Structure 1
Amino acid sequence: MISLIQLCDKMGNALRSADGGPVARVDLTGVHISELDDPTPYLEGGELLLTTGIPLVGDRESVREYVSRLASRGVVALGLGLGAGTDDVPADLEAACANAGLALLVVPVGIPFMHVSRAYWDLVGKTEQADLAASLNLQTSLTQAATRPQAVAAVIKALANAVGGWAVYLPADGSAETYWPPVERRILPQLRKETARLGLAGTHSAATFPLHGMDVIEYSIIADRRTAGFLAVCAGRRLRKADRQLMLTGCMLLAVAAQREWQLTRANSILSSTTTTLAVNGFVDAARFVAWDLIGSPLAERVQLLAIRGDNLEALSTSELADRVSDMVTDEPGSGLGESIRRSRLRAMDDGICYLILEPLTNSAGAEIVESAVKTPASHRAGRPSQFAAALSRPMPLSQLSGRVGDVRRSCALAPMGHIASGRSLLDPRAVEWVAQLAAYHRADLVGTVKSYIRHQGQWEVAARELELHRNSLRHRIGIATRLIDADLDDPDVSANLWLALRSASDGGTE
């Protein structure tokens, strides 16, 4: 907007106040020239109206009505050109303008009205050029911010500084907000509530609402036909048209940043799956080659393999998987295992099993943890049965990984929900429970009976002779043991796992 003061300053003595006093502080929407008695049909309000005085010929009442019509239409100033219709400012006109609150100016003799109009549009042009330059500078700064490593944070900071207020980006997935300036963290809880209430997700809409006594504009950020998040802006001053354009540019840049992040995540996921698949299938050199594009460093030469089964594994992030596994563990290396999973970038799905290649777990002294048998799952103790089961291998050279995949997979498949099968032999995790069930039976020595039976490969006579039992008594005890563990002792998989578990229990867990 060009002010009347700016126009008078540019014109100098060619446009001045009729009474010689200071010019009124009003903004102009334009300069209009008319000699009509009623020019209001051609006016929109906010103009400086120039006249030679032809409409002012008449009595005091007609002058008052003329000025009243202009004031009612919103005209802010009247300029009287001297020398054509009158050489002096009529007293009736001065009084009428003063009563109506209409600024009265004079254009001296010999000054064409066109000079006033041209001066106004010169000022408009310079102001628009300045606004355009400022807007382009802000747009450039905003675009440059989007090319920086922390693009979202840079865009939010640039946008907040441009409007003299604050800006916040709220990711749609509920992850951490990005905001500027830092002191505005206080608004985040209420802003999240308002965002949920507005329900902008899935739309290309914007909304305004009050927050802590301030007006906030919020936009939905759509990328790849999905809602990536929401941009909320609060200006520290009255918003201009350029500000709104700047916010729309910010929305576009945030959408581009979100799409770029999704594409990078997908690309890394493909690289991660490819590297892991190559490694577990024995193509170690190829896995090393692909890993350079993923992690930019060599693969660890000693690793552990973690297998996880459960529902909807593909939808979980690696961090979420780490949380689920950590919930299943009560003792060391539980916390270390969760952190190791979070650090891993090598993950692949195969036939419903999620495989992760981890760096070996270490104790406080930095030594590898070789034996990591898990006891009672924390989720079971808390009354929240886990929906996942897992198996963890011992540390091994990367070159031996493919040879252990089958054992880890079988152990994962056999592990009860909420349990992690791990340790030296990767036994069926039920074997430890079988030993506990046999040991808890006090009416007969079922542990010794079963050990003898398995040792002699189910030969009744030999086992009965060793136990100094009648053959029928041995059959009776084996029947009880079978019912207790709900498994067939003549099944090689059952007998092999149970034999190793019995050996481990009898010698304190060492072989």
Structure 2
Amino acid sequence: MHDDTPDDPPSMVMNEVVTLADVLAPPELELKLVCGGGNATTTIVRGAHFSEILDPQIWLEEEWIMMTSGVEMYRDPARQRQLVRDLVTMNASALGYCTGIKTKAVPPALLDEAATLGLPLFDVPYHVPVRHVMTHVHRLVLGTDDVLLQRAIALTDYLLTGFDGPMPPSLVPETRIVVTLRQMLGLSVDHVDVQGSPVDPEDGGAVELSSVVNGVSDQGSTHLRVHGEDVLAVPCRVGARLTGWLVVHLPSRTDGHRYVLAAAEAAAMLIAVAALARRRSTDNLEALGQHLMAHLLRQPARRPRTGAGDLNALVGSPSMAVLRELGFTTSDPIRAIVADDLDLAAHRPDDLARVLRAAGIPHAWAVEHDTLVAAVQCSSEVALALTERFGVPAGIGGPVAPQDLPASVRQAQFALRMLRSEHHHARPGSAPRLGALDFAGLPPAALAAEQIRDVLGDDAVDDFLAPLVEQPLLLDAVVEFLRCDQDVAAAAQRLHLHPNSFRYRLERAAGVLGAPIRRPSTLASLYLACAASNLL
């Protein structure tokens, strides 16, 4: 059963009274009266309610239509007949049965009892959105009673109390509405997500619905017993979009249940609207951030600059306007986070974005193939702590102005290579570093290696390594020698060589370089050149 809202809803027309004929009239709804007698279509209708609750006398007003999909009774003919008798006793206008959800047609016992007692019963086809039927009835009824319309507006206005004043940053609109509803009803009200778990993890008293939510229809309110307590589960939804549930802990008396139901359903719809609007806003900001990242990453990687002056130079530019909308300020630089070889099924980029949002960190991110690049505005310590929670190895670049983001990205990539190298070449029994590595935390030699090509130029570095590159066996020996901290036995083992054979290769490498391998200047030059060439 679909729940899409019509693109162009008809305007509300003021009428004197609404009858069942008016409800059944629109041909696009395809509502079919299956029983009720010759005068059924003249029955007055004052409202409609979709519910799986089988106590209509508690929840439904007189001359209202009850609509249901039969979740609570489709296998129980006795309960079907009892529902019809209860509706007749309370002078309900009609019963609408949504076919195709639990049964292909109206259950025989339900149809027989309705025909016997003269209760109008109509069929709602599976392909017709039930929300369209409800909206149609509500529009008809509100068009007959301006007092009722004013009451609906007043209820919404009350539930939005407090939105005209300041709210703590941690208080989302949904929470404000729940708090207001609690005060309005004088009852305990919980807000749980679509899986039935409390939305607010600090709400220790919230009822856990995860064990029963799969069996509850999300098309309407349901009366449940959870842990021996009567609760009303109201879906928070707009059209087909379900965002969670309101759970109202019901009092022992039943005289106020209709009021509770009306208020809870109004609050649930407002909560769904707020949640969807906030999610859409977040989605828009994420998309905006990805466009900004694509622009910034196209800039040439130059020597990074830091300081507010560089940021202030962007004031008035489109990039700075986007940065401000994403929460960045002109008082602090940004830094890059890079994670590659992602298993996108296990580590989705928006998982990191969710961690950053929860911590209130301004950020933007982009993904190309299996590499995630994020720009954040926070200290390196905070970036390290948050990135490690993402669960994949990552490198963190130094602080730069936004236009110099590519330089910080390059630093983050270098830090990530150092992290992977340390992990891959750790000696047996040692504890390799996991998580994230900050470029600023690298030793001076590593920092120098990252910048050596900028200082000396690519040709100087490549020319120094050229004699070894031309003889790959010698280059492999030198690289493993550096990786194993000049431990000949360990390096020879990695190359599956006898130590004497490995020493011979080192001697040959020294010969082509024209200097002893263990000379400090030679070791330093080899380390810088190999690290800058991604060999370590």
The TM-score bracket by the shorter chain reads 0.3 to 0.5
TM-score, length basis structure 1: 0.47
TM-score, length basis structure 2: 0.45
The structure number with the bigger radius of gyration is 1
